[in-house]
Amino acid sequence: MPAIPKLVIVLAATLAIVAPFAVLAGRRGGRYRALPGWIAAWSQFAILIVALSRLTPTVSFPLLGLVMFVALKQYFTLTPLRPQDRWAIFVAFISIPLALWPTWAGSFGLLSAATVIGLFLLIPVLLSVVPRQPGLLDALGRVLLGVLVFVFCAAHFGLMTRLPAGSLELFGITALLADLPQRLTGRIRPGEERVRPFLGVVASVVVAGAVCALLAPMASTARLHGGVAGALIALAMAGGSLVSDAVAQDLLRTQSDAVLGRAAFLDRTLPAIYAAPIFYHYLRAVAS
């Protein structure tokens, strides 16, 4: 029987420790109310991470593609476009295999070319070709944000399979522990100037930096670089949650019934996906 890698055990243990705590805290209500759902989403995310890291690409990449498809579907359900923008949405979905192919080949250059040239330049044309144009820039922002986060950033999970073994699990553990302090203190929200969320980000940077530095040698990375990568993950996740809150505010502020439980998806996935490219490029460009 093959030995279970240490980082997989650490990831499972982290989830096992945080889960009861999150469920109990969720009973207190208020800002802790979302914690049980959040930890459930993280459990699924952990399975994806381990699958990407340990299974062969023929199995793990279609799985990643499926997750990207579901994520993009939820995103476009939450952020409707104009009726005439159907082809732009169609191309956004088609872009998932186009982005996965270069990641399969392990080429960031190709991924950039496919995303930047193929999508960021093609989608504005598709949106502009329709006859009626009120709301063009708004629609463009919606499509490009979806493609940027759920195709371009998410494809970096595929690229991470090319990093030293264990890097994906290291990312998962660090991102989970970076997210926790921000959730406990309440996250930074657009336009709010309260001190507590900022303290949450500071705590998140410290915890993520320390944990990532501690575990980095298991992923063949120097402790120093692990610490910096952890801190970067925490900061990127704070940025991601700020974006997800701003999007939710723009779309759903008074429409809690309109989304029928789909809104939590943005809140749970966007911060971690946002952090993936930063972690990947730091480890690839600086640490190696």
Partner 1 sequence: MKTLRRWLGLGFFYAFQLGFVRPVLRWYWGAQYRRRSSVPKGPCIVVANHNSHLDAPLLMTMFPIGRIGHVHPVAAADYFGKTAWRRTIVMIGMNAIGFERTAAPGKDVLQPTVDALSAGETLIFFPEGSRGTPGVIGAFKPGIGKIVQSVPGVLVLPVFLSGAERSLPRGQSVPLPLGLDVIIGKPRTYSPLLDARGIADMVRADVLALAPPAPAVPGPRPTPPTRVACCGIDREANRALFLALAGRLGSAGRTIGISDTVLESDGAGLRESDGIPLARGRTVPKLLAWAFRTGGMFRGNRFAEMVQRAHMDEALQDGRTARFVVSDGSPLVDLLAWGEADFYSGAFDEKGLQQLLLFVSGARRIPLRQWARFLRKAPEVWLLSVFDLSHPPAPDVLVLITREPASAMERIRSQGRAIESWENETFLTRLQEGHRRVAAVLRRRRIEVFELDAADLDVDRAADEIEAACRRLALKGAEAVQKG
Residue of 139, 205, 232, 278 that binds partner 1 (CB under 8 A) = 139
Contacts with partner 1 in 142-161 (CB under 8 A)?
142
Residue 149 and residue 270 in contact, taking contact as beta carbons nearer than 8 Å: yes
What CA–CA distance (Å, rounded) separates 211 from 88?
Answer: 41
Q: Report which residue type is found at 35.
A: L
The mark string for 18-47 relative to partner 1 (x by CB under 8 A, - otherwise) is -----------xx-----------------
Residue 254 is a binding residue for partner 1 (CB under 8 A): yes
d(CA 225, CA 209): 9
Question: Which residues have C-beta within 8 Å of that of residue 221, sequence separation ≥ 6?
Answer: 164, 167, 170, 229, 283, 287
19, 36, 40, 73: which one contacts partner 1 (CB under 8 A)?
A: 73
Contact 232, 219 (CB under 8 A): no
Which of positions 167-206 make contact with partner 1 (CB under 8 A)? none
In the complex with partner 1, which residue's Cβ is closer, 13 or 66? 66
The CB density around residue 156, as the number of other CB atoms within 10 Å, is 21
Binding to partner 1 in span 82-111, by CB under 8 A: 82-83, 86, 89-90, 93
Nearer CB in complex with partner 1: 18/88: 88
Q: How far apart are CB 202 and partner 1 at their closest, in Å? A: 24
Binding-residue total with partner 1 (CB under 8 A): 35
- Residue 221, both tokens: 């990375």
The tally of CA atoms less than 13 A away on the side-chain side of residue 149 is 29
**Nearest-approach distance from CB 266 to partner 1, in angstroms:** 13
Of residues 213 through 252, those in contact with partner 1 by CB under 8 A are 250-252
Interaction between residue 77 and partner 1 (CB under 8 A)? yes
Report in angstroms how near the CB of residue 84 gets to partner 1 at its nearest: 11
| Cα(109)–Cα(59) distance, integer angstroms | 24
Q: How many CB atoms within 10 Å of residue 272?
A: 26
Task: Please answer whether residues 248 and 263 qualify as being in contact, where contact means their C-beta atoms are separated by less than 8 angstroms.
Answer: yes
Binding window for partner 1 (CB under 8 A); candidates: 74-82, 108-116, 147-155, 267-275: 74-82
Distance, CA of 2 to CA of 126 (rounded, Å): 50
Q: Does 260 bind partner 1 (CB under 8 A)?
A: yes
Nearer to partner 1, 93 or 101 (CB): 93
Q: How far is the CB of 165 from partner 1 (least distance, A)?
A: 32
81 part of the interface to partner 1, by CB under 8 A: yes
Largest CA-CA distance found in the chain, in angstroms, rounded: 62
**Is 259 one of the binding residues for partner 1 (CB under 8 A)?**
yes
Q: Kindly state the smallest distance separating residue 74's Cβ from partner 1, in Å.
A: 7
Tokens of 151: 């195709």
Q: Which residue, 56 or 257, is less far from partner 1 as judged by CB?
A: 257
* 279 burial type by CB count under 10 A (0-12 exposed, 13-18 middle, 19+ buried): buried
Please give the residue ranges that form the binding site for partner 1 (CB under 8 A). Answer: 29-30, 69-70, 73-74, 76-83, 86, 89-90, 93, 134-136, 138-139, 142, 250-252, 254-255, 257-262
